[in-house]
Amino acid sequence: MNTWRLDTWLTYRPEDFLMFSEPVYWQMIQTHNALFWPAHILTMLAGLGVLVVLGNPAGFARFRPGLLIAGPLAASWMLAGFGFLGLSYASINWAAEWLIPLFVFQGVLILLGRTDFGVGVPSGIAAVLGFGLLAYALAGYPLLAPLAGRPVAAAEVFGVAPDPTVIGTLGVLLIARSSLKRRTAPLSLALAISIVWCGVSWITLDTMNTWESWSPAVAALVALIGWSLPNAVSTGGTPKASRSGRAADRPAAR
């Protein structure tokens, strides 16, 4: 008699794995926010800083724009991993602890791929989609809680909660990709990890029957569309620094 049987596992549905109720989930987020306040101000400012640098990398050329982008982004993943997953989410979902290494790995990956960020002026549809996702993560996502009738104290903020952090990352990755000649391995892997989280979040929210479940799903879809578009490398305003030395990754010079 086998303990593990495929035919048994095939009978499971997502709701069989949901071990908390919707009110408890939102309450957990509110409690987490109270625990980390006022870190939200810093993480929001960091996110805005990333947005500004991405919009004008040449203006920050002497400040190593890649690091200015990758640093806060990597820190946000670490904070969401150790903070949200480890300290709060794990209190109602023991499986959350299994995902902490993924968030740490993503943070390291973003740092390793820092030279792929802020390479040139973003352009093309991918950049537009990227800026849209990043702006939504920073300014739109926190509004979902009050729009759904929950207190502002339960808002999910970039850098503190995983969903806006991941959606913002998707935006950053699209923007970075728009200024590169080809998709690099670190960015591709970072995109894949972000998409995986969007899937986890979508299934969780959808199983709870919350209308916000569309948010990570649409973000992932937008990111995949933007990622698959042909490259539209900009040549204007390219920072002179090219620390990676990989000519193929840089915008084409005219």
Partner 1 sequence: MTKHRSKPVSRRTLLAGSAGAALTALLPKAGWTDQTTTPSLRTIPSSGARIPAVGLGSWITFNVGDSPVLRAQCAEVMDAFFKAGGKMIDSSPMYGSAQSVIGDGLRALGRTDTVFSADKVWISDTDDGPDQIADSRALWQVPKFDLLQVHNLVGWEGHLRTLFEMKQSGHLSCVGLTTSHGRRHQDLAEIMAREPIDFVQLTYNVRDRAAADRLLPLAQDRGIAVIVNRPFRRGGLTQPLEGQPLPDWAGEVGADTWAQLLLKFILAHPAVTTAIPATTKPHHAVENLAASTGPVLDADLSRRLISQVESLT
Give me the residues that bind partner 1 (CB under 8 A), please.
1, 3, 5, 8, 11, 15-16, 18-21, 24, 27-28, 31, 88, 90-94, 97
Task: Supply the minimum distance, in Å, between the C-beta of residue 88 and partner 1.
Answer: 7
59 vs 101, which CB is nearer to partner 1?
A: 101
Distance CA 133, CA 123 (A): 15
41 vs 97, which CB is nearer to partner 1?
A: 97
92 vs 224, which CB is nearer to partner 1?
A: 92
Task: Check: CB of residue 93 under 8 Å from CB of residue 46.
Answer: no
Q: Is the peptide bond before 38 cis (omega within 30 degrees of 0)?
A: yes
> Diameter of the chain by CA atoms?
69
Eight-class DSSP state of 252:
P
1 vs 253, which CB is nearer to partner 1?
A: 1
Question: What are the Cα distances from residue 2, in Å, to 6, 17, 21, 212?
Answer: 10, 21, 32, 40
Cross-strand partners of 161: 158
